[in-house]
Structure 1
Amino acid sequence: MKRSLSGSPAFGVLIACALLAAPHQASAQPAGQTPGQAAAGEAPAAPAAPAAPTGLSESVAAVVNDAIISTYDLAQRMRLLIATSGVQPTQENLPQFQREALVSLVDEQLQFQELRRVEREQKIEILADNAEVDEEIADMAQQNNMSREQFLGFLASRGIGVDTLRQQIRASMSWQRWIRGRYGSRLRIGDDQIAATQARFAAEAAKPQYQIGEVLIDASRVGGMQQAMAGAQQLVTQMQQGAPFPAVARQFSALPTAATGGDAGWVSAGEMPPEVEAVLEQMRPGQLSQPIAVRDGVYILYLRDKRAGGSATLVNLKQAAVALPQGASADDEAAARSKLAALKPQIRDCATLEATAAQAQGVVAGDLGEAELDDLAPQFREAAEKLDIGQVSDPIRTAAGMHLIAVCGKRAAGAGAIDKEQVEQRLFSQQLGMIARRYMRDLRNSATIETR
């Protein structure tokens, strides 16, 4: 349940004025890089964020099940968002920063309350301890080519207390640990799901694939589609002016890929909402999309690369062969065929093919490498089409001799090979992400949240 508190001072206006009026300070970091920025090749960072506002009186910004979030907490989180997203604060986007900061603080308070309840009832420890939080801060500093002291100094120069960062890290680490611990062991990705996904990838291999970065502004989290669309438009404007996409994704995206700076890897038709795919088809590599309205919110896409699909199939083959001239007698052919037929059941897999073949006199084994199916000799192509990965053919007669071929790999041309383990991990992450979002929606709906 949510309701507003009346009679509160206009603290948002005070924070906005202080943020916009404060002078810029020199950066304590490598030029052109902000905390959270991805590797080289991304857009340069926006100008340094303003210094911290001073002289604000502290009051209540929100109450979450009787727990208070102060205006000081809110101002601190706004500064942290500005510093780590690379977005320059303006009169237009400060309301979005304030809204995102308040929503994040409310969600974290709900998470802490839920985790402490679970700890009490189940007599377990879930919350990340100080050592774990310190290790994460050290990792963040290293990712930005700074020492821990330099990183904290950079935040301090923008008026951000270390406790603000520590709380955000502790909440994120603890919540992810709880979600994975509670639901991860229960999630079962069936072989049928994996097979269906692999079949869909194979069927779509002839279609274009896109390497994308993604941001989703969750409409239910920010107060509706209108707010989501307005916020997304402001983020697009800031990224066009230099705010790095990965840093924005980490702070604002509601998708699981936020943890990796919005990197969704290569996607094909059918993996994204239809509204998103329609935009992707028109984009060029290096281009940032305008906001795209979908059922749950608003998408922003960054197209890193694009490749044409291919209908060709690539196969990786090994062989065991007996040299046999084209004019060999029927008896010689029968002997070679019999020798390879006896060898076939002894070949357990591609890794042991050469060693197994070496034990048979007169048999030579080798790796034929990867080739397009259509480029193979007709006898090899016919066998490779029918065989699954790991299977071995019956003896095949060619002009050069008698052969067994083993299919060690098979994939669609133009698409990176995606094995069972990769598919399983992708499906697992998607399902766990949906569970986490539903969990948070349930907590919000059952809570008493009062905001000024």
Structure 2
Amino acid sequence: MRRILLGAAMAAMLAAGGVAPAFAQGNPFQPLVYVNDSAVTRYELEQRIRFLQILRAPDADRASAEQALIDDRLRLFAANQMGITASDAQIDAGLAEFAGRANLGVEEFTRALAQAGVEQQTFRDFVAAGIVWREVVRQRLVPQVQVSDAELDQEMQRLIETPRITHVALSELIIPAPPGQEAQAMGLAESLVQSVRSEADFAAAARQHSATPSAEESGRLPWMPLENLPPSLRPIILSMKPGQISQPLTVEGAVVLFFLRDSRGALRPGAREQVLDYVRFRLASLAEANRIAALSDSCADLFVHARGLPPEQIQRQTLPQGQIPASEALRLAVLDDNETSVVSQGGAAELLMLCKRQSALLASGAAAEAPVAVTAEGETAAAPDPDTLPDREEMRSQIFSRKVGQAADNYLAELRANAIIRRP
């Protein structure tokens, strides 16, 4: 998605003949702010603003660009403290990777930047700061990040309890982009992304600009199953929230915008079913049962107190709710993990402790195997089942990446708080 938009932005810039220079008045090399005695100059700020404008970045305003430069100085400061530098080979590889997002080579990309008044050094500095920061994160933060089984179970449970989107209500806006007018169409689409704040705004824009019959209906499409959408479009729609407009999508001869009015979902089959791990402990008196309950913080503790007793007096079972006797299921229903319930049974007593309550889907273990489909050529291909949970290790990797990103943001905030940032 980002590759498509970057390519479209560069195409639009090239078609428009570049971005007009807009240097502020005054000495271009005047320091605007010092970050730990490293100066950010007016020239650097103007260059960064222009660079972000070329990329159609949403944070291309002056304040955001200045903050980005300050953060880059902090990243470089942290790298310098750790003796980390970016080699020419690493920077060249980074330049190639970034330019490749726009389907351009480095020379073609830098030539396009030059046409817009952005020097190659600005591009190199931008990439170099990212390279050294990634190495800072790898060396300093990654070893500190771990994902526990409890965190993984919690994330899997959240996924199970989140309805899976099955139907969506979309509005569409199709902007014609005939040959030679692609840049103008993309520019209009991007301006609408910035200005549309509500369904009413999108409806008005669709009536004015959309080239499809749905324009007469303010771009509104009827409710439709998610599976009716093209496979390439589904992840984009699923990433949106109701009331949100999509980023521009380029198709042959047009630029497309979508507005998600609403969505409907359903839980995975079996998501409400639970499996309970619990202990039943029969004792001679109510007083003894209450005493043991008070001393026990886990199911394992109960077995310590049961030493020397006949094994039939204490049993641990893991059963689906539907297979647990109703009298026990009602008592377990109000318990959290490691809580107990004691009831009198004539002169004796029965203690129940809930060891663990979890979704039946989670208790079943790893993700189910995807059913096999057959292609037109007779080859087998995996047909992903939307009800199947992701692989646990795949989910662990996602959680790990998210935690590393949060740790990096926190460390940058710490660097910012501890830095000497002053204006001349």
Report the TM-score, using the length of structure 2 for normalisation: 0.50
**Greater RCO, CA 8 A, separation 6+:** 1
